[in-house]
Structure 1
Amino acid sequence: MYSTSTQKKEWTFTAEQIDDQRQEVNQKFREKYKDFVEEGEHEIFLTCQEELSMQRIVEEAALKFADKFRPSIWPSVKWTAYAYFKRLFLKWSACDNSPKLVIMACFYLAMKIDEFFVTIDEFVGNLTTGNPSQNAERILALEPEIMRELDYNLTVHCPYRPFEGHLMEMKTRMLLLNFDLESIRNDSQRFFQLALQTDALLMYPPSQIALAAVKFGLKSQGKSNDVLRDFLNKLLGVEEDAWGGGVVPDANTHVEKLLVKLEMIENTVEGGTNKLSDDAVSNLQNRAGDLSNFLLILDKRRNDKWQAEGGIGRPPGEKDEQPVDSDDE
C-alpha cells in the first residue's frame, strides 16, 4: 500500500525540497571542477533551471517514443519509468549524465519491474537513433547503477488503478448524473500525460493525482465542480448516513481540504508543462554542446595535474566499483 511504501517515505517531497535538491546537485557538479576553472569560465556551466529544461525536453520526446513503441507499452510502465527518471535527477546532474540515455534505461528497467516482457533487442529496435548494439550495451550497463541510486526502491504506485476505482465509485454513488462519465476518460488520460512532464509524481499520492485527473476531465467536458464535490461528499460521508449514523465527524472539513489539494495538483500539472520555443531549445542545445567541449578541457587539466603530482592513487574522474546485490550472498 502507498501509505506504508518507500515511495511515500523516501520519494515524496515538497516543491521546496525538490528545488533544494536540484540546486545541491547543480552545485556539487560545479564543485567537482572548481579548482580547474579559470576566470570568466564559470558562465559556461548550465544553471539549475537549464538542467531542468534539458530533462523536460527529454521527457516530452520520450512520451512520443512510448506512444509509438511496439508492442504497446502499458501506462503503468510509462509512469514507473518517469518516476525513476525524476528520482535519479534529484541525485544526478544532467550535465554529468545523459538524460536521453538515462530515460531509455529507466524504461527498460520499468518494463522488467512491471513484468512487461520485452527483450533488449526488441527494445533497442524501437529506437530511431544510434547503433542497436551500442544502445543495448549502454542501457544494460546503466541498469545496475540506476538500481543502486534508487536504493532498490523499485515499486512505484501509479494513479491509473485508483482512477478506475474513482470512476466506478462515481457510477455507483451518483446514479442521477445526466451525462456519461466515460466521456471524461480521454481528457483524464491527457492529464496523466501532462503530469508525466511535471514534478507531480514526486509530490502527491497517486490516489489524489487520480482524483485530480477526474476533476480535469469533468472541467474539460464543461461540467460544474459541484459534480466532484457531491461525489466527495458521498464518498466521505458528509451526507446523512443511510443507517442513521448521521454525518461522519469532520468529513466536511476533509472534503474542503481535499478540493484545495486537487486544485494544487491541477495547477502543478498545468503550470509545469510550459513548452520551450524552438529558439530556446536550440539555444539550450548550443549551451549543452559548449559545456560538453569545456568539460573535455577541464578533464584534461585535472588529469595533467594528477600526472604532474606523480599519478598517485585512482585516476581523477574514475568511479568506484560498487558490488551488485546477489541472491547468492
Structure 2
Amino acid sequence: MFATSTQKNHWIFSDEETLIRIREATNKAYVDQFRPPEDVGDFFLSATEERTLLHFYEYQLKEFCVKFQPTMNKAVIGTAFSYFKRFFLYNSVMDYHPKEILVTCVYLACKIEEFNVTIAQFVANVKGDREKAQEIILNNELLLMSAVKFHLTVHNPYRPVEGFLIDLKTRHPVLEAENLRPFIDEFLDKVLMTDVPLIYAPSQIALASVLEAARKCREHLDVYVTSILITDEEMLQSVVDAIRTIRLMVRVKNYDPPQP
C-alpha cells in the first residue's frame, strides 16, 4: 500500500521548492567536481538548463512509449517516468546521457509492471543500432536500480482512478462516469510532464484528474466530494488544497516540446 511504501517515505517531497534545491545541489556537486582550475566561462549547464533538457527527453520518453509495440499499458509508462525523474533528481545530465537512461527506465518498468517483452522485442522499437542499444540498456540497468535506491515499486494514479469511477457509478449514479475517462487520461498525460508525481499521493492525483474531467464536462461533483467521499472537515481541507495545487501545476505547464 502507498501509505507504507518506499515511494511515500523516500520519493514524495514537500513542494516544488524542495525539488529545485535538490536539483541545484546536484548541479553544483557536478560542477564543483569537474571545474578546471582556469576560468572557462559558461562551460557547464546550469540547473535550469539541465531541467529544460530533461523536459525535452520526457517528451521523447512519452513518444517512445506511445509508439511501442506491443502496446504498453499505462502503468508501465507511469513507472518509467517515475524512474526517469528519480534518477535525474540526484544525477546530472552532464554525467549520464538522458537518452540512454530513458530506454533503460522503460525496460526496467516493463519488468516491474510485468509487461512481458524480451530484450530483443524491446530493442526492436529502438531506432538505430539495436545491438548497441541492447548493450547500453543491460549495462545501465543495475546503475538505474542503484540510483533509485532499489525502490522499484511505483504506485501510479491509474488504479485509484478506476476506484473513483466505480464509486461514482455506485454512490453518485446521476453522473455518467465513463464520459469523464478521455479527459482524465488527458489530464494524467499532462501530469507526467510535471513534478506532481514527486509531491502528491497517487490518490490525490487521481481525484484531481476526476474533478478536472468533471469540470470539462460541465458536471459538478462538489456534493459527492464533501458529503459522500470525504466527511472529515480537516481531511477535506487538506485534500482540497492538494487538488487545487495539482490542477494549477498542470495548467501552468507549457506542453509545447522544448528544443534540445
Pairwise TM-score range, normalised by the shorter structure: over 0.9
CA contact (8 A) 1:188 1:214 kept: yes
State yes or no: 1:138 paired with 2:139.
Answer: no
State yes or no: 1:233 paired with 2:226.
Answer: yes
Distance 2:115 2:222 in 1: 37
Counterpart in 2 of 1:104?
Answer: 103
Q: Which consecutive residues of structure 2, in runs of 5 or more, have no partner in the other structure? A: none
**TM-aligned CA distance change 1:120 to 1:276, over 3 Å:** closer
State yes or no: 1:264 paired with 2:260.
Answer: no
CA contact (8 A) 1:69 1:126 kept: yes
Alignment of 1:176-325 (within 5 A): 176-177=174-175, 180-223=176-219, 227-236=220-229, 238=231, 251-275=232-256, 281=259, 285=260
- TM-score relative to the length of structure 2: 0.95
Counterpart in 1 of 2:117?
Answer: 118
Counterpart in 1 of 2:58?
Answer: 59
Q: Which consecutive residues of structure 1, in runs of 5 or more, have no partner in the other structure? A: 239-250, 286-329
Given residue 29 of structure 1, which amino acid in structure 2 is its aligned partner? Y
Counterpart in 2 of 1:155?
Answer: 153
Counterpart in 2 of 1:20?
Answer: 21
Distance 1:52 1:131 in 2: 28
3-state SS of paired residue (1:261)? helix
CA contact (8 A) 1:194 1:273 kept: no
CA contact (8 A) 1:197 1:273 kept: no
CA contact (8 A) 1:81 1:106 kept: yes
CA contact (8 A) 1:198 1:273 kept: no
Can you list the C-alpha shifts for 1:89-128, whole angstroms capped at 9, x where unaligned? 1110011111111011000001011111111111111112
Distance 2:61 2:4 in 1: 30
Can you list the C-alpha shifts for 1:111-153, whole angstroms capped at 9, x where unaligned? 011111111111111112x300000000110000111111111
**TM-aligned CA distance change 1:81 to 1:55, over 3 Å:** same
Alignment of 1:2-17 (within 5 A): 2-13=2-13, 14-17=15-18
CA contact (8 A) 2:200 2:242 kept: no
Distance 1:92 1:10 in 2: 16
- Percent of pairs with identical residues: 34
Structure with bigger RCO (C-alpha 8 Å, 6+ apart): 2
**TM-aligned CA distance change 1:169 to 1:234, over 3 Å:** farther
CA contact (8 A) 1:124 1:132 kept: yes
Please identify the structure whose Cα radius of gyration is greater: 1
Distance 2:110 2:37 in 1: 41
Given residue 196 of structure 1, which amino acid in structure 2 is its aligned partner? L
Distance 1:8 1:273 in 2: 27
Given residue 217 of structure 2, which amino acid in structure 1 is its aligned partner? Q
Aligned length: 259
